Each structure stands twice: as C-alpha cells, then as structure tokens.
C-alpha cells in the first residue's frame, strides 16, 4: 500500500484539512519563543493555498486535558503564521460545530483557516468515532503533515481518515518517512548508530531493532553507566538503572562478534552536577566513588569520531552528557560536528540531539533533522506509526 503525496492531488476548490504540528513553546505571556514547527509547515500550506485549495489547519498545543484553556489557545499561532506567510490566516474559536462549518462554507479558494486547539475536546485523544466524523465532515481532502504526532492514534491523526475518501501526506511528513526509511531499509554500510540520553530503558526498542542493521553502535550519555556497571566498572554516583543491568549484560553478549558495541573509555567527572563543581578527565577504572560522570572524555570523542568518519549511514538520538551545562557540553558538540563533517547520510532525532546540532551551528550539514522526538524513536524501534499507516491506501 502506498502513501500519496499532497502534490499528486487535484486541490482546486476542495476543502483541505491539514493536520499540522503547531505545538510550539511559549512563555508565560503566551508569546511564541520558537516558531520552527510553524516554519516547517509552510511549504505544504503554501502549496495547497496556491493550488486553489481551501486550507483548514488543525493542531494540538500543550496538554489542556480535554477542556478549553486560554493558556493553550492557538490564536497567537494564527497571528505568527499570518506574519510568516505574508497573508491573512483566519481563526476559528473551535475545531468542530456549526460556527466552524459556517466559516469554512464562506471560504474562497486559497484562503486559510486555523482551527482552535483539538485537545480542548477530550474525544481527540480518545479517538472517539463521533468526534472523528465531525472533523471529517469539515473537508474533502485530508493531509497529514504532523510527523511529531504520527505515533498517536488520535481522532485527527488516525480516526478521521476512515471517513475521508482522499488522504495524503504533506511535504514534511514525506521527508520524515523517506529519510527514516532510508536509515532503516537497506541502509548503506558502514552504518553507525549513536545513542545517548539518560536511560537504557528509553532506548531498549531502538537498540534491539538496530542490532541486526548497524555496523557500529556508540553509546554515551547517562545510559552508558548502566552498561559500564554491567561490565564490572565502579561508576561512582553516575546514573545507573539497576533493573537494566542484566538486560545490558545480555545485550553486550549478543553484540559480541556481530557488531562493534562501543562504550566510553574516559569521562568528564565532577564532584556534583554543577557548572562550578571541580571536574577532571577520568578513565573507566578511575572514576572516584563520590563523583558523577557528566560527559564523554577526549579519548572517547576521538574513538567515536573515527567511527563516524568512516560511516556511510549515521543515526543519532540522545546527547553524550549534560550538554546544557557548558563544562559538560564538549562531548555532545564534538559528536555533532563529527557527524556534520562526515559524508554519510545522517539522521538526527530527539529534542536534545536536535538542540545540540543547532547550538553547535552544524544543523545545515545534517542530511535530515527529525521533527518528532517520540515519533522518530518509535520509527527507529521498527514500530508502525498510526498516523502514517492511516495514509496508506491501495
């Protein structure tokens, strides 16, 4: 079954419902602090508008818990979107109902309407059929361009597609699917996966799925210390998941003779998690008992960078340390730069990794930066995402 792309459709005069991801960060006064997700949606919105479609945009914002909350209104997003598009974006006070139907009924070709927060209705997250039908009644064509919500089986991402004849993916959604599939289906070798972040538990599915695909697995971040403890090292007060030690040991055994499974050999350890704390570079067997490891060390950076340099496919999810604190950011930024300098096809996913490539100033040299943290993680686990499967038609 194939997924149609929005540019394969006849859109003139059609009511086109586009599920976007406008879950943007805001300050306490509801001012948008980062409009990256709005900017990424522009190509699909512009295309549908210029093709003569009547553009109906829908998104969630925050966690209003199924009730109307001004703090989570999409009204400020409508204003910012108008500025970015250079044309008026109308706003609806709800996402279903007679008033919304009336507004859509009065739309001209090319006009754009943003609906109020889908999650003001508890039926959205519950994927209730009546709510799905109400959303479906607003349109002739359904387009999903919200990869960040594709792992959720909600009314706007999965339920309503059953009641709309024509469904397609937006440009951003297709770029995500094609890039992640390129990293999972017949990837070019050598294939290097770099996994970091705090917990082994969060990455179990990814590790298991990639074990049969990658050439080399590089492990950093807090999760590395569970593996190191499983190998018999004393890791001081570094983060360790005691309940994952046996799993980690089994995984190390499983990887032997199959792939390169590399853990840090040195670390930036500190007396405490504090930018002002005393810190030093230590080897695996010299970690002080009362200290905490907060970044990979220079020897590990060199080893990991050599593996990255020889790769033809790279996937990175999770930082190498507490990169938010300057003394412990060098390892993560070094890995970001090594990936950027590589000639490999590279995919970076997860909020912290994306933040790292942006802060390191190398985002423009990464082949694909995934917009969906949870969605990209589940994709890398090999799971089928409801929002993507719903677009597949004979």
Q: Let me know: does 68 contact 115? Beta carbons within 8 Å.
A: no
H-helix or E-strand spanning residue 155? none
Sign of CA dihedral 30, 36, 39, 44: negative
Contacts of 72 by beta carbon, 8 Å cutoff, 6+ apart = 61, 62, 63, 64, 117, 119, 120
Q: Kindly provide the b/e burial profile for residues 347-367, where b requires at least 16 CB atoms within 10 angstroms of the residue's own CB.
A: bbbbebbbbbbbebebbeebb
Q: Given strand 266-270, what is the order of strands in its sheet?
A: 279-283, 266-270, 292-296
Report CA-CA distances (Å) from 94 to 59, 97, 105, 199: 12, 7, 15, 39
Q: Let me know: does 195 contact 207? Beta carbons within 8 Å.
A: yes
Q: Write the Ramachandran bin of 355: left for phi over 0, alpha for psi from -120 to 50, otherwise beta.
A: alpha
- Candidate list 19, 37, 119, 337, residue with the active-site label: 37
| Cβ-based neighbour number of residue 278 at 10 Å | 10
Distance CA 287, CA 268 (A): 10
21 exposed, middle or buried (CB, 10 Å; 0-12, 13-18, 19+)?
Answer: buried
- Candidate list 52, 62, 110, 374, residue with the active-site label: 374
| Cβ-based neighbour number of residue 109 at 10 Å | 15
The beta strands (E) that lie in the chain are given as 2-3, 15-19, 54-58, 89-91, 112-114, 141-144, 166-169, 191-195, 216-219, 260-262, 266-270, 279-283, 292-296, 313-317, 345-349, 368-369, 392-393
- Candidate list 4, 126, 199, 312, residue with the active-site label: 199
Distance CA 52, CA 10 (A): 9
Q: Write the Ramachandran bin of 350: left for phi over 0, alpha for psi from -120 to 50, otherwise beta.
A: left
- Candidate list 52, 351, 373, 382, residue with the active-site label: 351
Is position 84 annotated as part of the catalytic site?
no
Is position 199 annotated as part of the catalytic site?
yes
Is position 37 annotated as part of the catalytic site?
yes
Catalytic residue ranges: 37, 199, 351, 374
């Amino acid at each position: 079954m194939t997924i149609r792309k929005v540019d394969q459709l006849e859109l003139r005069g059609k009511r086109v419902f586009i599920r976007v991801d406008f879950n943007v960060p805001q300050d306490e006064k509801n001012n948008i602090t980062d409009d990256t997700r709005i900017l990424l949606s522009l190509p699909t919105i512009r295309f549908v508008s210029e093709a003569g479609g009547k553009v109906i945009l829908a998104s969630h914002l925050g966690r209003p818990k199924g009730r109307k909350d001004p703090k989570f209104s999409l009204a400020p997003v409508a204003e910012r979107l108008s500025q970015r598009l250079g044309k008026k974006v109308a706003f609806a006070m709800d996402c279903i109902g007679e008033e919304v139907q009336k507004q859509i009924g009065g739309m001209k070709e090319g006009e754009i309407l943003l609906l109020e927060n889908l999650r003001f209705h508890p039926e959205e997250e519950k994927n209730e059929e009546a709510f799905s039908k109400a959303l479906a009644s607003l349109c002739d064509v359904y387009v999903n361009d919200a990869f960040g919500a594709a792992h959720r089986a909600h009314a706007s991402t999965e339920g309503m597609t059953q009641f709309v004849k024509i469904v397609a993916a937006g440009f951003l959604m297709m770029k995500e699917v094609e890039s992640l599939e390129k990293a999972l289906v017949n990837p070019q070798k050598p294939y290097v996966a770099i996994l970091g972040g705090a917990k082994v538990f969060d990455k179990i599915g990814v590790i298991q799925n990639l074990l049969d695909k990658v050439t080399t697995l590089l492990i950093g971040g807090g999760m590395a210390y569970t593996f190191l403890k499983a190998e018999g090292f004393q890791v001081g007060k570094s983060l360790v998941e005691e309940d994952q030690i046996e799993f980690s040991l089994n995984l190390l055994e499983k990887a032997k003779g199959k792939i390169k499974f590399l853990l840090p050999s040195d670390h930036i350890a500190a007396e405490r998690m504090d930018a002002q704390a005393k810190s030093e570079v230590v080897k695996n067997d010299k970690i002080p008992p009362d200290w905490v490891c907060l970044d990979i060390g220079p020897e590990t950076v060199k080893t990991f960078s050599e593996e990255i340099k020889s790769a033809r496919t790279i996937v990175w999810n999770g930082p190498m340390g507490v990169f938010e604190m300057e003394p412990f950011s060098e390892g993560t930024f070094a890995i970001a730069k090594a990936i950027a300098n590589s000639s490999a096809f590279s995919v970076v996913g997860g909020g912290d990794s994306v933040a790292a490539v942006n802060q390191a100033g190398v985002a423009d040299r990464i082949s694909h930066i995934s917009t969906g943290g949870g969605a990209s993680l589940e994709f890398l686990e090999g799971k089928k995402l409801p929002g993507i499967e719903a677009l597949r038609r004979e």
